[in-house]
Structure 1
Amino acid sequence: MKMRKLVTATLAVSMFAMGAARAADLSWMGYSYAEESAKPSVEKIIAGFTAKTGKTVEPIPSAFGDLQKNVFLRARSKTLPSVVQISERWLPSLSKLPGLVDYNTVFGKENLEKIYAPEALAMGQIDGKQLAVPLMSGSIGMVANQAALTKAGITDLPTTVEEFKADLVAIRDKVPNSVPYAMATKNNSDILVDFLTWEYVFGAHVIDPEGKVVVDSDASRKALAFLVDLMKERLVAPEIGRPDARRLVGQSAAAFYLDAPQSRTFLRSFSGQGPAFDANIKPMQVPVVKAGDTPVSIQWAHLIISFAQNSPPTKEDANMQFIAYLGDDAVETQFPVEQSALPGTKSARANPVVASDAYLSAWAKNNTHPRRNEVGIWSNGGELTDILAQEVQAALLGQKSADEAISSMSTRMKASMTKAGHAQ
């Protein structure tokens, strides 16, 4: 009996030691690792980091729509990951989490400015702190599927809203079982981006830079009425989120949708054709109300935040070594390009691998002045996003008129901003 207990105890200690030996030096939570098309690229990064430093990384997948919630849950249970991949619009809501690293204190503000493109680096700044660095950047703009356009007899990309709607009608009538414009009509964060884009197209705004809600305007009503009309005429469809839109466009069952430059990677995957499908992927300017208007797009980036492994954090910490590695050309000329996005660093953008990419060049040409997401940047951005999406959905589904939805959106958003400390 004693011998059995001794063997059992020895085995337990041995297994514990093995588990401890296998424990990763840092953990990385991100939505790219949860995406089939991006997972291999993440695994390349991790393998490269381990080969260079000898340190190991535990990847933690989280669906895009669940990541913020998962981070907050881990904060409550004190199990925050070492590093987290986030959307640029989430940073304000995550900026107060305990242990969030200000990279300026680790790497130096001037050094970071030498490494990263200024507009990309700026997306990670709050109150003078560098709380995030860009993994890749770009904008959210419109993508067309040439195969679907050809089926409908359309030869030129639309430049105005009037031309856009005429093309949608042609696709509806000539391409059976299609969704002409795969607009986001579900998933609150997706609806937010699509609605904001059309707000800007019609000259409207939701919240001004001082935090005042300004969505209750004639321009906003016109924007929402335009989208409601698209739904009534079966030019858009209910229950479409960004993943659904990518699938539809990749299968040539939709002709237009809004996405980040990553669109190419998703469409290659969903088409089943890989790079051979590139001929059908056409980055284009978002249509304008009248010729001569400035086309709009929205800022977009994948940012990286970190939680301190030591106090204070230093360059020698495993997660800070990982952050430094993410800014290396080995990563920045690999991951963003494989995901069809612009690198965040100056040196990678100048690299021929990036500079000679026709798709990325076309994207940059068609999205020259991306605007800031004026809803997601606030500390109560999650609540504001839910309010906006709920009211837009109510209008699209015919539960409210466009006027009623905009009025209700304004009232609810003002209450939320007042509660958050922004006088209305």
Structure 2
Amino acid sequence: MKALKKGWLTGMAALVTSALMITSCGGGGATETTPTGGRESFQGTNLRVLLKEGYEIQAIQQFKGEFEEATGIKVDLEVYDEPTARQKLVLDSTSGTGTYDITSGSFWNMPEFVSAQWLEPLDEYVSKAKDDWLVMDDIPKGALESMTIDGKLYALPHTIIGGMFFYRADVFQELGIQPPQTTDEILAAAKVIKERRPDLIPFSARGASTFASLGTEIGWSYGYDALLFDKDGNPQANSSEMKKAMADFVTLMKDYGPSDAATLTFTQAGEKFSSGQAAMMFDTSGFGTIFEDAKQSQVAGKIGYTLPTGPSGKKLQWLYNEGLAITAKSKNKNAAWLFLQWRMSRDTTMKELTQLNRTDVPNLNVLQSKEYSDYMASKGLEEFSAALQESWEGTTAEHWPFYPEFTSIGDTFTKEISAAIAGSKSVDDALETAQSELTTIMKNAGHLK
């Protein structure tokens, strides 16, 4: 499995290279039929699509009727929080039922999904059944490589994300606080806000005890030069660097976060900020699209952006990539492939920008278009656009645990940090427990002797 991890690190390094390009401008074996046929070939087919919640699926929800009209295919969507969506896929795949035809493929779950043979390789479809909807050169190469394992492509990526720190520029100006550039400055600002604006929650971030919170915690710790694993897979949860990193993070969440900080999912954490309740938030660059949309946010036009560093001088991280994949047990793989192509088409992704206000569409044709530059200028989003590009440039996979056991790794670590945020454990005790349990996970999986 070390070879698998090495391949993924290479792919994510390429994703960084691809981001630079942007800013400067398993499977189930053979398919049931040869992957060919026009858009009308699958009329009457019913596709069941399993998605995790998030802004990147809004285009599917909003425009799927256009796909249905063009193809005669009926699309049924099921949307859940990420842990539930994963559980649904696991149950369907292990039972061999084949209920779902398409699923979200988060990059952090891809090693597990591919190793278990739950996903269909897409290379044959790309070579033999590429509809005019799909222009492969529009998709950043690094994003495609991050969805590629052992030389096979398993998903078309519809999300590329880096880390970002959001703050209420109007509140900071009112209180005379400079935009935070370091973790120490974030802590100092939180103290001032709590004292002088008690009506506001100083800080919001993910704190729930689920693997979906891991990116926040190890992304924060990267700024302290703290890695959850060394290059040989040995856990380092109780290192002095990790203890310092989590002590600061837990302080922000426990002393300056909302009362439900220990249970906040990414949606709930974002709502604290978009509703105007919170003055600062650390999460993904993708939230900028939501926060600057007046239809979804009460703080649009009042936000500032920074990419803070930790004590080590390294920038805080939040790495994420997601795509759509065809399930290995699907009985409608060809129709599912047509849907994936429609989802990544120029028309659909341009509508994401112009109608849904999504500013980080992973389509080079859109990002390099005059429509994009005009849109960002018309919305006064030049500052966000610059921060978004800088975030992509600084993305690294150095801190990420690319193992099929990612879910159990993430659940184990975040459970302990959530307990520390809730006050039921000290940070040191939580990290010692995490160290012991992570070591057991890695040994049982055969990564350690």
| Preserved contact between residue 262 and residue 339 of structure 1 (Cα < 8 Å) | no
**For 1:199, which of 196, 221, 224 is the aligned residue?**
221
Structure 2 residues not aligned, in runs of 5+: 1-41, 377-381
**1:295 pairs with 2:320:** no
Which residue number in structure 2 is paired with residue 422 of structure 1?
A: 447
Tell me the SS of whatever aligns to 1:179. Answer: coil
| Preserved contact between residue 100 and residue 330 of structure 2 (Cα < 8 Å) | no
Deviations 1:12-61 (A, max 9, x none): xxxxxxxxx996432222124xx6x7775323331232233333322222
| Preserved contact between residue 290 and residue 296 of structure 2 (Cα < 8 Å) | no
Tell me the SS of whatever aligns to 1:378. Answer: coil
Tell me the SS of whatever aligns to 1:282. Answer: strand
**For 1:135, which of 158, 162, 170 is the aligned residue?**
158
Equivalent position amino acid for 1:220 in 2: M
Write out aligned runs for 1:95-174 (5 A): 95-98=114-117, 100-108=119-127, 114-154=137-177, 156-174=178-196
**1:30 pairs with 2:51:** yes
**1:378 pairs with 2:403:** yes
Shift of 1:242: 2.1
TM-score by length of 2: 0.77
Relative to structure 1, the CA distance from residue 396 to residue 373 in structure 2 (aligned partners, 3 Å threshold; closer, same or farther) is farther
**1:226 pairs with 2:245:** no
Alignment partners' CA distance in 2, 1:99 and 1:64: 17
Deviations 1:332-359 (A, max 9, x none): 2233673635333332332233345333
Alignment partners' CA distance in 2, 1:41 and 1:354: 17
Shift of 1:172: 0.7
Relative to structure 1, the CA distance from residue 348 to residue 152 in structure 2 (aligned partners, 3 Å threshold; closer, same or farther) is same
Which residue number in structure 1 is paired with residue 265 of structure 2?
A: 241
Identity of aligned residues (%): 17
Write out aligned runs for 1:36-115 (5 A): 41-77=59-95, 78-98=97-117, 100-108=119-127, 114-115=137-138
| Preserved contact between residue 253 and residue 421 of structure 2 (Cα < 8 Å) | yes
Write out aligned runs for 1:379-398 (5 A): 379-398=404-423
Alignment partners' CA distance in 2, 1:43 and 1:325: 13
Alignment partners' CA distance in 2, 1:99 and 1:226: 39
Deviations 1:153-207 (A, max 9, x none): 43x3111222221111111112223221112222423431221122101011002
Equivalent position amino acid for 1:25 in 2: N
Equivalent position amino acid for 1:423 in 2: L
Shift of 1:151: 4.6
Relative to structure 1, the CA distance from residue 29 to residue 335 in structure 2 (aligned partners, 3 Å threshold; closer, same or farther) is farther
Shift of 1:274: 4.9
Alignment partners' CA distance in 2, 1:179 and 1:262: 21
Deviations 1:393-412 (A, max 9, x none): 23333433333322221121
**1:254 pairs with 2:278:** yes
Relative to structure 1, the CA distance from residue 248 to residue 387 in structure 2 (aligned partners, 3 Å threshold; closer, same or farther) is same
Relative to structure 1, the CA distance from residue 43 to residue 322 in structure 2 (aligned partners, 3 Å threshold; closer, same or farther) is same
| Preserved contact between residue 230 and residue 236 of structure 1 (Cα < 8 Å) | no
Alignment partners' CA distance in 2, 1:413 and 1:310: 34
Which residue number in structure 2 is paired with residue 16 of structure 1?
A: none
Alignment partners' CA distance in 2, 1:250 and 1:40: 17
Deviations 1:368-410 (A, max 9, x none): 2212385553111111111101221233334333333222211
Alignment partners' CA distance in 2, 1:22 and 1:326: 18
Equivalent position amino acid for 1:379 in 2: P
Shift of 1:300: 1.5
Which residue number in structure 2 is paired with residue 342 of structure 1?
A: 360
Equivalent position amino acid for 2:175 in 1: A
Shift of 1:258: 2.3
Alignment partners' CA distance in 2, 1:375 and 1:186: 19
Tell me the SS of whatever aligns to 1:178. Answer: coil
Tell me the SS of whatever aligns to 2:301. Answer: helix
| Preserved contact between residue 42 and residue 335 of structure 1 (Cα < 8 Å) | no
Relative to structure 1, the CA distance from residue 40 to residue 406 in structure 2 (aligned partners, 3 Å threshold; closer, same or farther) is closer
Q: Quick check: 233-242 or 344-353, which moved more?
A: 233-242
Relative to structure 1, the CA distance from residue 244 to residue 274 in structure 2 (aligned partners, 3 Å threshold; closer, same or farther) is closer
Shift of 1:268: 5.4
**For 1:351, which of 369, 393, 402 is the aligned residue?**
369
Q: How many residues align?
A: 393
Equivalent position amino acid for 1:121 in 2: L
Which residue number in structure 2 is paired with residue 325 of structure 1?
A: 342
Shift of 1:367: 4.4
Deviations 1:312-340 (A, max 9, x none): 96xxx111111222221012223367363
Equivalent position amino acid for 1:192 in 2: L
Equivalent position amino acid for 1:242 in 2: F
TM-score by length of 1: 0.82
Alignment partners' CA distance in 1, 2:357 and 2:252: 31
Shift of 1:112: 7.9
Which residue number in structure 2 is paired with residue 15 of structure 1?
A: none
Alignment partners' CA distance in 2, 1:72 and 1:228: 32
Bigger radius of gyration: 1
**1:409 pairs with 2:420:** no
Relative to structure 1, the CA distance from residue 355 to residue 210 in structure 2 (aligned partners, 3 Å threshold; closer, same or farther) is farther
How much is the aligned-residue C-alpha RMSD, in angstroms? 3.2
Relative to structure 1, the CA distance from residue 94 to residue 308 in structure 2 (aligned partners, 3 Å threshold; closer, same or farther) is closer
Relative to structure 1, the CA distance from residue 386 to residue 311 in structure 2 (aligned partners, 3 Å threshold; closer, same or farther) is closer
